[in-house]
Amino acid sequence: MPDTLAPARHRIALVGASIGGSLSPALHEREAVALGLDYTYSLLDLDRLPPGWRLRDAVRRGVTGFNVTHPVKQAVLGQLDDLSPDARTLGAVNTVTVTDGRLAGHNTDHSGFLAGLRHGLPDIRSERVVVVGAGGAGSAVAYALAVTGARVEIADADTERAHALATRLTTAFPDAEITNLPPDLIPTALTRADGIVNATPIGMTGHPGLPFDTRALTPRHWVADVVYRPLQTALLTTAHAEGCRVLDGGAMLVAQAAMTLALLTGAAPDLARMREHLSALTASRTEPIHD
């Protein structure tokens, strides 16, 4: 009998489309090394998987946990045995644990956004917040803010999408005030809002520009971006010049990755160390991808 147990082997895979340039393998694996884990993080690109492929096919080949990204955050729900309450309400997962053969879905996008916001902008007021973008990231951000009891106004160029998200969150949080907002009314909403979050792709590499009319920003506003390539977006540059407190998309990305790593291994990642690593990675790589 060996007197010490062999360290657990963690074989993690990211499932999604167009993930070839993902930062996640480097971000996860470097932190896992620092934590002394036996951990690998590989890519399972849907473009290269056979039709009908399922998560369990990878489990049979030794995968012990998953990150899940665009376009399958919702599509994998039917393959899971269990869902965390948050993932059930959000209707999307980004992490799947495998325990005794059971696949359980979790969502660390919303908790990652909130942790990043609290860590990066402590002491801000966030009773009224505008969220621009009602897609995957916007849903997680709006959900996270609704959990805190904030009044959330959701704007999307696709007004049906904003309306659907506001309706879904109102059903989940009947006491919360969550409404949809026509994008042209963002400046008006800013006169009563404490902060605003960009959850559209505008500002990322290949999608230049500003996601909304920034002329109503004043120094009493905080501005958060979910875009992390680049970390310094045109929105954050503009908002900072207006005197606003700003938070880049790296805060959400790192906190989300740390929470996923913790769920998959039980270890306690170091946020500051991961953040430093992300900054180095984004400085050296610029291609747009899904993480």
Q: DSSP string of 140-201?
A: HHHHHHHHTT-EEEEE-SSHHHHHHHHHHHHHH-TTS-EEE--GGGHHHHHTT-SEEEE-SS
68, 76 contact by CB (below 8 A): yes
Q: Specify the stretch interacting with ligand NAD by CB under 6 A; choose among 18-26, 31-39, 81-89, 195-203.
A: 195-203
- Minimum separation from the CB atom of position 73 to ligand NAD (A): 8
- Helix (H, G, I), strand (E, B), or coil: what is residue 74? coil
Site for ligand NAD in 55-94 (CB under 6 A): 70
Helix (H) or strand (E) holding 14: strand 9-16
Residue labelled with tokens 């495998």: 98
Total binding residues for ligand NAD by CB under 6 A?
28
State the Cα–Cα distance between residues 157 and 221, nearest whole angstrom: 22
Question: Which is closer to ligand NAD, CB of 65 or CB of 112?
Answer: 112
**Distance (Å, rounded) from C-alpha 73 to C-alpha 91?**
8
Nearer to ligand NAD, 70 or 273 (CB): 70
CB of 225 to ligand NAD, least distance (A): 8
Active site (annotated) includes residue 73: yes
| 16 near ligand NAD (CB under 6 A) | no
Stretch that binds ligand NAD, among 29-37, 82-90, 117-125, 225-233 (CB under 6 A): 225-233
Residue ranges that bind ligand NAD, judged by CB under 6 A = 70, 109, 132-138, 155-158, 161, 183, 199-202, 204, 211, 226-228, 249, 252-253, 256
Please list the active-site residues: 73
